[in-house]
Amino acid sequence: MSQGSQTYSSLEVHEPDPEQYQKQVVSYPDHSLPQPMPLEQRTGASPTYTSPESTKEVVTSASEYGYYKPGQENTYNQHPGYAGAYVDPHAANSPPGPYGPVGSPMSGGTTAVYSDQYPPLAGDAGEKAKAPAATICGMKKRTFYIILAVAILIIVAAVAGGVAGGLAAQNSSKTSSADSKSPADGSSSGGGNATASDSGPKPLDISKLTASNFTDGDGVVHRTLFFQDEYNSIIARRWDSKSKSWATDNLTDQLIATTRPLDVAAGTPLASASMDLDPHYETHLWFLDPNNYIHSMAATDAVGTPSGWANDTLDDAFLQTWDGGQLAAMWQRCEGADCDGTWVVAYQRPEGAIKTANSSMWATATVAVNSTDVAANSSLAIIPQLSGPWLDAIELVSEKASSTRTMRVTTYADTWDSSEDRVTELITDIPQPATRQQFTVTKWGSWNQALYLALLSDGTLEGTHYDGTSMKSLAGISFNGGPDVSFTAIAMTTDAMFYGISDDEVLEYSLDTSNPSQFTYVGVAYP
């Protein structure tokens, strides 16, 4: 603080300074009174100090044998607790204290610096040996603390090294995979009844399942599955037609030591999609936290570093879903080839409407289906749709809230406005939405044919086939080969591969596109 030409400290001290006064009192005692010289100083020894426990022993001894009073030297010295008479060799040179040569009977709580208040035991008079230095665990304090610091550093280094090594080993082990051979055309991920050679935690019993695929510029097919394991971690399972093997990434573990670790709701809905715009190949995943907000992770170099997952912040948008609502996602191509397209996520808002948010501006979501036209907690599916020569339209599958409880598809054509006029019914009289109920869709034949599947709450599957001209209900769905199944979650890629969780395994099937009610067992995709 400055005033005129003078400068003042903001930490001014006014007299008298209590701290300075205390120091003066301690450093300069009142010499108007006689000052007893501690015995240890008068004998040339260094001052020592007793612990509180030692002080307690002195007080106890004094109360047991009586106090030493002037004129009672003979009686005192002959007490059984003492072996001989006490004679202070320095008494003639030292002035008596205010309580005489012995000291106050109330001074039992003083430190050993005033140890001349009590006579030493016989044989101790005149002892000049220095008191032992204070120790901890038998070591000097300084030595102890140095060793302790070194030990702490070693432990910290070991823990850090162990975590890093564990993650490296985990990533290494998880990229090891099964010898699941594919058919020569590379269209299927497994082969026969082959199973993955690396084991892992079981899928969470309420886990959802999602799958996506793309084909890179070299013609290599890539497929990725996502589900939760029994520890609530999100697992990515990757396959490609070049290695013909599966690899595993634990997305939760990958981010556990970052500033934004995953906080995933148990049984969260899962949605995924892949981009195949050469030379850009990406795979994205969307899921919910315990407060029903949407989060995302992405492998933005899905060919070069397919295990390189990172948080996708969604531009910090807050997208909240209905409690128990589902998710669906896709990559929407541009009309023409002059942009990278957009990522689209469909979800049900807390007020009931189905909205779609996209990567051009995540925070601005658009109503696709009004709340009056959709059931609460409706299952969702979404897939690209041809619009003339371009694959830039969208089909959104949901359940209508009505007496007939209908699974239906709504088409996006440059806008969601008047979407109720572009609705096609797929399956009628399905149960009300339930946790186990899920929709999925795939296409083939240059995106001209489609299969819409519904896993109902009782575990049965119903489907509708679009043959390019009309919708046809399927009489039944058959899974040929492989184990008996009771699916708790299902998913399909856009290249007509089916995946389902059954009996703690993720099973893979290929769709018979000539007869879309038939699926052929390929193998175990996990574990």
pLDDT tens per residue across span 181-216: 333 344 556 543 334 445 789 999 999 999 999 999
The set of residues, in sequence order, having a beta carbon less than 8 Å from that of 145 and lying 6+ positions away, is none
Q: Are 404 and 426 in contact (CB under 8 A)?
A: no
Question: What are residue 24's phi and psi, to 5 degrees?
Answer: -65, -40
Closest CA to 495 of 441, 425, 456, 419: 441
Average pLDDT over residues 220-229: 99
Confidence of residue 68 (pLDDT cuts 50, 70, 90): very low
Average pLDDT over residues 232-255: 97
The set of residues, in sequence order, having a beta carbon less than 8 Å from that of 522 and lying 6+ positions away, is 188, 189, 190, 191, 497, 508, 509, 510
Query: First vs last Cα of the chain: how many Å apart?
Result: 72
Residue 384 has a pLDDT of 96
Burial of 284-304, coded b for 16+ CB within 10 Å and e otherwise, reads bbbbbeeebbbbbbbbbebbe
The number of helices, as runs of H, and strands, as runs of E, in the chain is: 6, 29
Confidence of residue 17 (pLDDT cuts 50, 70, 90): very low
Share of the chain above pLDDT 70, in %: 66
Closest CA to 460 of 449, 470, 475, 471: 475
The DSSP bridge pattern shows strands 518-526 and 478-480 to be parallel
Dihedral (CA of 362, 363, 364, 367) sign:
positive
Residue 55 has a pLDDT of 39
**Around Cβ 500, how many Cβ atoms within 10 Å?**
24
How many residues in total does the chain contain?
527
pLDDT digits (tens, 9 = 90+) for 468-488: 999 999 989 999 999 999 999
Least confident of 37-51, 260-274, 483-497: 37-51
pTM score, two decimals?
Answer: 0.66
- The more confidently predicted of residues 98 and 70 is 70
Residue 190 has a pLDDT of 52
pLDDT digits (tens, 9 = 90+) for 342-393: 999 999 999 999 999 999 999 999 999 999 999 999 999 999 999 988 899 9
Position of tokens 């694959």? 391
List the domains of the chain with CATH numbers: 19-131 (no CATH), 176-195+203-256+268-526 (2.120.10.70)
Say if residue 201 is exposed, middle or buried (CB neighbours under 10 Å; 0-12, 13-18, 19+). Answer: middle
> 155: helix, coil or strand?
helix
Residue 155 has pLDDT above 50, yes or no: yes
Both tokens assigned to 98: 């205010």
Residue 159 has a pLDDT of 63
137-142 contacts at long range (C-beta below 8 A, 24 or more positions apart): none
